[in-house]
Structure 1
Amino acid sequence: MALGCVIFCLFAGFSLALENKQVLTVPQRCEEDTNTFLWEINQEAPKEYAVLMYDAFGKMGSNVEGGNVNQPGSLQQCHSAHSPTFSGQYCQVFLRQESVQYFVGICVPDSCREEDVETLVLYGRLQFGQTSLIPPLPSILVNQSTQEMIMTHCLSRAIAPDASDVICLFVCCLMIAIPLAATLFTTIIRWHRNREVSPSVESSCLNTGLNLYGTLKTNGSSSSEMKSSTSEENDSTSHTPLCFPRSCVNRCLQAFSLHNTSQGVLTTFSGGGYSSLNGIRSLSLLWIICGHSTQFSVINNLDNYKDWKKTVERSPLYVFAISGPVFLAVDTFLLLGGLLSAKTLMSSITRAEDKLSACLVASYIFKRIKRVQPLHLFIMCLTIGLISLIKWGPYWFPLIETMMDCKTYWWANILLINNLLPVHEICIPWTWYLSLDFQCYATTPLLLYFYRLNRGVFAAVAGGLLLMTTVAGVVITALMQLPVFEPSTMTSYNYVLQYYLKPYTRYGPFLIGILTGIHLMTKKDQLLKRKWQAALGWLCCLLLMAVLVGLAYVLRETPSYPSVPHALYQGLHRPLWALSVTWIILACEEGYGGFIKSFLSWGLWVPLSKISFACYLSHPVFIILYIGLQETPIHYTDLNFMYLFLGHLVLTLVVSYVLTVLVEKPYLLLKCGRT
């Protein structure tokens, strides 16, 4: 989740040992254009293009002590500069002074390549009189006044999509066009039916069917055949199907038509048990969106990062915006995933005459893939396409480097194994969760097999797995001295690579969810018998959650040696958080939830819960677009960040509804053949 910061930190690995190189030559055209620009800005009345280029250079601002070290300059102003022989080109020079890393935006002639710009900067050829156009930070602010160049990036004016970009954009357009075309087709048939068929015949149409052109079928079907037809047409959906023949084409049309996919998405009626899950899922989603809205901005383009860090690290009031505790919402999702996976599979076993067959397991896995992959593929293709279409601002560098991984490692997303790759190779970083969830999901049939085989064996296997995942977190944290709170330094590379993304350290909450699901599906009596038991349970639950969040602030410093408290906290806090949420679910289901049960079962959470998957996948796209298009840094205040969160949230909700009905739900409803 702190991937942008990791990539920026990795830039240090590309440090060029240019001090030992001989003076490099610059191509004649670049040198002539640069000399023309430098000569022009030293005149008493310089030309307008030269003034624009000079003014576009990044300059040091105030509050360097608070973290305002980047000097982005003005990209648009640079691109608007045109001389008779060249135009302005915006580049960023990444520098280091002592422990401070920063970039400076500069405007150079577009006849210069990145390596030419590097040479011009390194050997001080960009001078305004006797003053360098890229002066170092003053020694009063930074002890080391010597600048060390890390790398140089130039932002091209032209948008040049390659073949992969075109393919991705085509896939996105196709996935949107199919449901729109199906909706248009079914609407035309409805219109023909209402126009040409009498009401009495139209009602019988639901039993006898119409052909694809709206012509009434009169084949003399018996009443039993009509009843069979009605039964076959009413498949997994609860909606009355359109009056088409029973064919795969018909089912596809119905599945992709907005007449069906839009039904029930915005309803506030939960329709089944475990209504408290809607509130838990929705609140966890809001927690994640709030955390990402803050963290992405903090990592990439905040002008007072140090001020922000001092403020949020000292107060648990910022628990919704700081890295460590925000990650607990992910463990809540893993818990819910385990619970629902066990419930779904056990229900399928019951319908299959209490048989857990290989065919049933294959169907169970396939349904999960069908649930996840269409929207996942759409978001991946959309993000890749945006890279080439968007004219990014000065803060594009971590985003572009991250998204470009998709062109090489897209296959890992298709196979749902991208969380097993190194951090810098993950395509669409936030989709690591889908791979982790699917890998955990695939273990549910095996655990249920042991549960049905022998309860003692099942208890031993489940206990062993829980112990192993806990010990793995403890050992990895101790040996690699990992942080547990706001991983935003070089140690966070190992934190993400070795701990945060891996199934062997994150399996605990999902396993607890499976156990909870089995209990809820098989219980014959209430777990809580007395009110005092419920009161004691609520007290322990809330106290444990508060301790888990509070300890993150106590252990916020990254250890410089193997730390037992850090290791124990890392290994235990996720399963313990999952147990606390499990208590809330059980208490609500057994009638001891009180006002918390009423709040979590509030009807408003139901539609949000139904579009939560689309919200999770789409909300980082809006945050990345917002950050990548900024030309100036964002200033941290509580009010600014609140508006950022609300803006991202509103856009996410609107677009997620559209994606749910156009991309996600059609494949859930899609069924060919008899059911």
Structure 2
Amino acid sequence: MQLVKMLFISIFITLKTLIFIQTHLEYLKIVAKSSKMEFLSDDILYDASAKLPSGIYQGNYFDLGNFDECYNYVNTSEESPVFGKYCLGQMNTEMIHTDVSGKIENISLHSGFCLNSYCSLDDFSKIFYLHNFTEDKCHSKQTQSSILRENVFTIVIIGIVTAVVLSSTLFDMVLSYKGIETRKPIMVIFSALENTKKMFATSNSSDQILCINGIKTISIFWIIFFHEHLVWKEGPLSNRYDLPNFDEVVKNAYIFQALLAVDTFLTVAGMLTTLSMLKKKNINIFTCIIHRYLRLTPVLAIAVLMHSSILRYFGNGPCWNIVESNLIEPCRNNWWMTLLYVQNYLQPTSCCVPQSWYLAVDMHGFIVATIIIALLKKSMRKMVFVTAFITLTGIAVTYFICYGLRSTGKSNTSNIIYDSRRMYYTPTHTRFPPYMIGMLCGLFMKSIQSSRVGKCRLTQVQSFAVWSAAISFLAISTFMSLALSDETTALIALYDAVHRSIWSLGICSIILMCFTHNGGIINKFLSLKIFQVLSKLTYCIYIFHFMIIHLKVASLKTVVHFSIFDLLIDTWGSTVIMIGVAFLASLTFELPIFTLENYVSGCIEDKIIPVFCRKCGRTWKLGIFSRPKTTN
């Protein structure tokens, strides 16, 4: 019976294919005649248009034609120049495809066609009548975007900062050549020479947790690899039907679990925030939040400016609309949400700088951690209790959210991805557990330092047990989801709620082993000097990497074949470019502004505020106002 069914389906698909091919051939004949007679002043335009793509049943939905040939076409024989106009159309066919899950879907073909620039969207639809066209997928030199005011503003800002950097660098070079030490440090804050020295400075101090540098660097490379694969799925692939099989193979699970790398950064952020706050004698919550905002925002603001203005001039291509829809339009509409760090709640599915939702979570976690430590600093037990309570509450809330999403998803799959991102993936309350676990790790490390047993050595059995637990935590978080695909909704929701926390426990275990000098060769590897340099670039890499990947994929002019080898090659190539871009961004914006902020705040606290306070009859000490004591 099964054999007969398969035979029937094969015959049906074959007939549909033959009918489609015959129809398309007749269609091309009509197009060729009508195009050459009425709309095409040159055979180049017809040559640049798509024909019938091959490999449709392998997932090749695209025949892009020749974008450059069409876009660069100019006919100067008329009174005014006539340019080529390229439009990517979509044709819904009656051919069907059955994916690995048994779901049947109709095949839609995407074909690029070329007419002259006088042709409207209606003209394309009349001639290529089987296709649907939209204006965002049409490109012509005649309709190139003009320079807008925001573009000029962005260029002016970048130009001013570049001029300041060049001037400061030249001044620093002159002083270095003459052997003079400047009396005004503010003059060399923007010096590329000085900031490059800071960038490449390394340390072997045992007081620093150097293994964090390797963890951060590996995590950002993991994120790049995943986003490379994610964005490539939106590109013109010739073997799209190979992707479901690729995604379900166990050995490829490490790619899709790269989402856990974000939880690594949250865990490390929670731990470092706790350790740095506990070193302070007095904590001014407002001042700490302002410092954090000024630390994160300058580079992010430049990225927002670029996304909303000059990014549209960075390339073109048949698939350029993915840059418009994913990067440009969200920033033109929702830029203020990103700069206020509320995008993960207000517009999680279309936020400006899409990956910046993490920065909102990080900012919210920092605010909560600062408040907890400032209010409960004198009682370590209370801090542990409150932090553990928030962790468990976050896990419980996440479980109920995931259970509801899984239950709804069984009957309605159309909005499950949207709802999952809005309710589970980006909200701060579902992301709190890793950050809070990082705080608990920081509190535990502080207690170790206070008890002066930081160099305690574990026996080989104890070390093996801890490392086994750490590796088990990481493995369970990464691969357990593959074994739960057929389990009950409650069990899958439980995994969704706890696997991030389990991952964080694994990361904390590794850090603690390195911190207590039980890391061995792993600690030596994670503490390599190259990681110390690259870890300083992780923030800028995170801000700009998604844009670079989109620009690369959206600029493709031909159909490409997907394979893991090609993905690796593209990822490493992109990573080199990202490191270069991040280095420039760090030299011109991140390091100088961070140093300038510290310099200005130091001047305000040491010089301006004390003078003001003396006139008001108050004193200023470590960010705290107080009245001077009076004697009777």
Decide which of 433, 440, 462 is 1:533's aligned counterpart. Answer: 462
Query: C-alpha deviations, 1:107-153, integer Å up to 9, x for none?
Result: 23322333x24xx52xxx31xxxxxx565xxxxxxxxxxx7778873
Alignment of 1:580-659 (within 5 A): 580-659=506-585
Structure 2 counterpart of 1:209: none
Verify: 1:500 aligned to 2:425, yes or no: yes
Partner of 1:31: none
Q: What secondary structure is seen at the aligned counterpart in 2 of 1:160? A: coil
> How much does 1:456 deviate?
4.7
The TM-score, its normalising length taken from structure 2, stands at: 0.80
- 1:533-570 CA distances to partner (integer Å, 9 max, x unpaired)? 3221211221232122112223458x9xx811221111
Contact 2:211 2:523 in 1 (8 A): yes
Match of 2:473 among 513, 523, 544: 544
Q: 1:342 offset after TM fit, Å?
A: 0.9
Q: 1:586 to 1:385 in 2, by over 3 A?
A: same
Equivalent residue number for residue 365 of structure 2: 440
Alignment partner of 1:462 is 2:387: yes
Tell me by how many angstroms 1:186 deviates.
3.5
Q: 1:166 aligns with which of 134, 152, 155?
A: 152
Query: Within 5 Å, which residues of 2 pair with 1:150-549?
Result: 153-157=137-141, 158-189=144-175, 193=178, 242-244=181-183, 250-269=184-203, 271=205, 272-316=207-251, 318-322=252-256, 325-347=257-279, 349=280, 354-356=281-283, 360-402=284-326, 403-481=328-406, 491-523=416-448, 524=451, 525=453, 530-549=459-478
Q: Does the CA contact (< 8 Å) of 2:200 and 2:533 recur in 1?
A: yes
1:327: Cα distance to partner? Answer: 0.2
CA shift in 2, pair 1:464/1:94, >3 Å = farther
Residue 438 (structure 1) shift:
0.9
**Structure 1 residues 660 and 270 mapped into 2: Cα distance closer, same or farther (>3 Å)?**
farther
Report if the CA contact (8 A) 1:93-1:104 is conserved.
Answer: yes
- Summarize the Cα distance change of 1:445–1:307 in structure 2 as closer, same or farther, 3 Å threshold: same
Corresponding residue for residue 3 of structure 2: none
Q: Residue type matched to 1:261 in 2? A: N
- Distance across 2 between alignment mates of 1:414 and 1:148: 38
1:276–1:600 Cα contact (<8 Å) kept: yes
Over 3 Å counting, the alpha-carbon distance change for 1:386 and 1:148 in structure 2 is: closer
Check whether the contact 1:168–1:384 (CA below 8 A) recurs between aligned residues: no
- Indicate the SS of the match to 2:209: coil
- Mark the CA change 1:303 to 1:37 in structure 2 (over 3 Å): closer, same or farther: closer
- Report if the CA contact (8 A) 1:57-1:105 is conserved: yes
Question: 1:450 touches 1:457 (CA, 8 Å); kept in 2?
Answer: no
Find the aligned partners of 2:483 and 2:408 in 1 and give their Cα distance. 12
Structure 1 unaligned residues grouped into runs of 5+: 1-34, 127-132, 136-146, 195-201, 203-241, 245-249
Q: Secondary structure at the match of 2:198?
A: coil
What is the one-letter code of the residue matched to 2:195? T
CA drift of 1:494 comes to: 1.7
CA contact (8 A) 2:303 2:544 kept: yes
In the superposition, the TM-score normalised over structure 1's length comes to 0.75
Note the C-alpha offset of 1:430.
1.5
Q: CA deviation at 1:455?
A: 4.4
- The Cα shift of 1:189 comes to 4.9
Identity percentage of aligned residues: 22
Q: Tell me the matched-pair count.
A: 546
Alpha-carbon shift at residue 385 of structure 1 (Å): 3.5
Secondary structure of the residue aligned to 1:513 is helix
Q: Matches of 1:507 and 1:166 in 2, distance apart?
A: 40
Contact kept? 1:466, 1:508, Cα under 8 Å: yes
Give the deviation of 1:59 after TM superposition: 3.2
Whole-Å separation in 1 of the counterparts to 2:134 and 2:91: 5
* 8 Å contact kept, 2:71–2:139: no
Q: Secondary structure at the match of 1:265?
A: helix
Q: Residue 264 of structure 1 aligns to a residue in which SS?
A: helix
Q: Which amino acid aligns with 2:71?
A: H
Match of residue 90, structure 2, among 82, 94, 104: 94
* SS class of match (2:235): helix
1:282 CA drift (Å) = 0.9
Shift of 1:635: 1.2
Q: Which amino acid in structure 1 is aligned with residue 433 of structure 2?
A: G
